[in-house]
Amino acid sequence: MIRLPAPEGLSGIERYALELLIDLARVPPVDDPSADVVRLVVAERDSDAPDLRTCVARDWYLERGDGTVSVPRPVLHRIGRVTTAAAEQGATARDRYDRVPSQANEVVQAGLAADPVVSRAATLLRAAVIASAGRRPVALSVPWPDGRRWAAAFTHDLDIVAYWPLFTLLRIAELARKGELRRVGRVALAALAAIGRNPVGRAVRHLLDDEQAHGILSTWFVLCGTPTFASMRAGDLTYRPEARAARAILGALTERGAELGLHGSFETADREELFAVQRGRLERQIGRPVQGVRQHFLRMRGAATHRGMTAAGFRYDSTCGFFDRNGFRLGIADVVPLWDPATERHMGLDEAPFCWMDRTLSKYAGVEDPAAWVADGDALAEACRQVEGVWVGVWHPNLSPPLGYPGAPDALRALLRGITARRPFLAPLRTIVEWRAARRSLRIRRVAPDGRVDAHARVPGPRPLSLEDPSQRVLATIRG
């Protein structure tokens, strides 16, 4: 736990960065002004915000005192800029899908995209709090339910349902261009054998079986508009959620307990009012509320898209990852509340950033070996585990041999094994977001002279929250 400086002395983005840091660090704030606990001090500096690489090299300039930890004000600014992808907001370059190139992102520019640098800063802050406490009591929030120390969420974007042979042909053309002729042969054989046997539906069922075997309930993002010839050609909407094949898939997902979210079509990025239309259509189709959203092709127009999602009633977004590389676009391996730079307020929407996607390496780096894709995913999972964060991965269910991806299902099975062996808390994104919102709302009301704490959580969570001491002994359990 920690006592924060008076909020009046801080700007909006500084407050945001500070709240983010202590949340990621698992040090809940103390309300009791008389409690003798570690205090956080914001140190004044004349200089501008040091660049990201320097912040990392200097351990974010955190300084330990007797019962105090200080962080320079410009460092809070740097954290605020990285976690809101401020550099991207100012970029004018766009790719052919109207997306900001990842080179505009600060962590990419610093060559630090594969490391959750802000999550690591929080880990350093926690270590500093513990080291500077002396005889003062230290209570930390327990990171995840069920005694787990990190979390993993497997997510899927349902891009293809109808007209699968068309996508097989497109993929064969892509492989041929790359000179991957052996793979072309394997795909052609698998596709011929799959004719009349519903390979899309079968791939979904096999994926669900594999996940079930590891105790995984996944999250699926579903397109929910009406396709046209133009939308098909552009790779945008390719199926209607009401069509028979799509209904069968949605039914199978609901039956297995998967979470369904909206995969926002291209148009939602230009006309935010369409989020509510598509969300409503999906809710009518599946008969339950839809909390999450991820943009198809990750198409966004900065904060405007997030504002549209909030207005449509979504609880969280999971679009903030890179399309052309794996890594941490916000420098964070965790769920964070989104900040609106225009109004200097919280968006009212959480972000569950993904750090790994199946196709980034094959589509943008020319790597066609699925074992290499999942090796990347596994390495990033290790980074997430180290910071007690969340690994969110994207796997497209159409990555099956008849649709052009021989070896992909086997590679995914290896990834499921590798990640679950590290014992993460496994849950659909909705549960992970709810847990983090409850954990984030933890406050210490009072600290008794003997060090016992009176804690409460403003937001109820899916499981009871707990506090622990620095050696992970549980001190108290809090009900919402």
Contacts to Zn ion by CB under 5 A: 157, 159, 296
Name 39's bridge partners: 3, 68
Question: Least distance from C-beta 194 to Zn ion, angstroms?
Answer: 22
Are the C-beta atoms of 425 and 145 separated by less than 8 Å? yes
The Cα–Cα gap between 317 and 301 comes to 14
Question: Least distance from C-beta 274 to Zn ion, angstroms?
Answer: 16
Calculate the dihedral angle through the C-alpha atoms of 250, 255, 261, 266, rounding to the nearest 10 degrees. Answer: -10
Residue 95 tokens, joined: 């790719």
Which of residues 60 and 316 has its CB atom nearest to Zn ion in the complex?
316
Within 13 Å and on the Cβ side, how many CA atoms surround 151? Answer: 27
Angle at 291 between CA 285 and CA 292, to 5 degrees: 100
Which of residues 296 and 440 has its CB atom nearest to Zn ion in the complex?
296
Question: Least distance from C-beta 224 to Zn ion, angstroms?
Answer: 12
Q: How far apart are the first and last CA of the chain?
A: 18
Question: Least distance from C-beta 429 to Zn ion, angstroms?
Answer: 16
Question: Least distance from C-beta 86 to Zn ion, angstroms?
Answer: 26
Which of residues 122 and 361 has its CB atom nearest to Zn ion in the complex?
361
The Cα–Cα gap between 362 and 379 comes to 17
Q: Is 370 helix (H, G, I), strand (E, B) or coil?
A: helix
Which of residues 139 and 237 has its CB atom nearest to Zn ion in the complex?
237
Q: Is 162 helix (H, G, I), strand (E, B) or coil?
A: coil
Within 13 Å and on the Cβ side, how many CA atoms surround 415? Answer: 32
Which of residues 144 and 220 has its CB atom nearest to Zn ion in the complex?
220
Q: What is the DSSP letter of 3?
A: B
Question: Least distance from C-beta 396 to Zn ion, angstroms?
Answer: 7
Angle at 173 between CA 167 and CA 175, to 5 degrees: 105
Which of residues 72 and 397 has its CB atom nearest to Zn ion in the complex?
397
Which of residues 159 and 376 has its CB atom nearest to Zn ion in the complex?
159
